[in-house]
Amino acid sequence: MILCYPKLSSEEMERRINELSNLGIVALEFEGSKEIFGVKVLGKGCVGVVVSAQTSTGRVALKILRTDADRAGFEHEASMLKLANSIDVGPRLHDFSSRFLVMEHLSGLPLPEWVKTLAGRGRKNRLKSVLRGLLEACYKLDHLGLDHGELSRAPKHIIVGEHDSVEIVDFETASDKRRPSNVTSLCQYLFLGSELSSRVRRILGPVRRATLLNALRRYKKDAGPETFQSILRASMGREPVKKKL
């Protein structure tokens, strides 16, 4: 039923099984924090369902097109993810068909859940490191000209994994045709207007709101390294370690 969620069709099921075979999928693994009809999955959205799967070379994440999705297939999302992968952002795309995306399997927690686990003396530095890595990924996306489209409401789109590695996921609404606003959208979510921003402020301390808003306005006009560094300083309270971006 997961392969043809939410409406089962024997003809569609046969087509999908053939596609999975062509993609090299040998087994599905039902695990994760979400459920569909009592079956555990990694994720569920308006367009697709994500499950763990096995190929001959190892475990992958498999995104399955819902039968009631508002699009014909995954071609657009695959092309957007390929663009993001070109600058080392997003889970690696292994293969795709009209009904399936085969991607790198990421283990970890959504960012808001990960923040809840932070404790002890090192939590401030850990949070700063993760948020800086996220903002740097968004800066790279901005300069690529690829807008993710969902980072102002990002609880499901950021995964923090082992050793505090961080990844932006789900490029189904991404576009290289509209003006990118990844850094500004993520800053709104992280520091200014969400439940998560309250938790972030409790750990990092008060954000210099007026300074940050001014830095974001300047970044919209000139998305260069100097304006980006000013955003990092305003949002995280001290001179960041400078990296080549």
Q: pLDDT of 62-84, one tens digit each?
A: 999 999 999 999 999 999 999 99
- The neighbouring-strand residues paired with 135 are none
pTM of the full predicted structure? 0.92
Residue with tokens 């994760």: 32
CA dihedral (23, 43, 31, 106) positive or negative:
positive
Shared domain for 67 and 127, answered yes or no, is no
Q: Which residues contact 139 (CB under 8 A, 6 or more apart)?
A: 182, 183, 223, 228, 245
pLDDT band at residue 245, thresholds of 50, 70 and 90? low
Domains in the chain: how many in total? 2
Higher confidence at residue 235 or residue 244? 235
Over 50: is that where the pLDDT of 240 sits? Answer: no
Average pLDDT over all residues of the chain: 94
- pLDDT reported for residue 236: 87
* CA 89 to the chain's CA centroid: 9
34 in a domain, yes or no?
A: yes
Over 90: is that where the pLDDT of 193 sits? Answer: no
In tens, the pLDDT along 220-231 reads 999 999 999 999
pLDDT band at residue 238, thresholds of 50, 70 and 90? low
CB 102 within 8 A of CB 23: yes
Q: How far apart are CA 219 and CA 184, in angstroms?
A: 8
CATH of the domain at 207: 1.10.510
Shared domain for 114 and 96, answered yes or no, is no
Rounded (5°) CA angle 90-94-97: 110
25 in a domain, yes or no?
A: yes
Over 80: is that where the pLDDT of 16 sits? Answer: yes
- pLDDT reported for residue 194: 86
Instruction: Name the E strands within 105-218.
Output: 109-110, 158-160, 166-168
Shared domain for 128 and 94, answered yes or no, is no
21 burial (CB, 10 Å; 0-12 / 13-18 / 19+) is exposed
- pLDDT reported for residue 78: 98
CB 191 within 8 A of CB 175: no
Average of per-residue pLDDT across 141-162: 94
Q: How far apart are CA 80 and CA 87, in angstroms?
A: 12
Over 50: is that where the pLDDT of 120 sits? Answer: yes
245 in a domain, yes or no?
A: no
pLDDT band at residue 52, thresholds of 50, 70 and 90? very high
pLDDT band at residue 20, thresholds of 50, 70 and 90? very high
CATH of the domain at 73: 3.30.200.20
Average of per-residue pLDDT across 193-219: 94
- Which residue range(s) make up the domain with 64? 2-104
Residue with tokens 């921003």: 197
Q: How far apart are CA 97 and CA 8, in angstroms?
A: 19
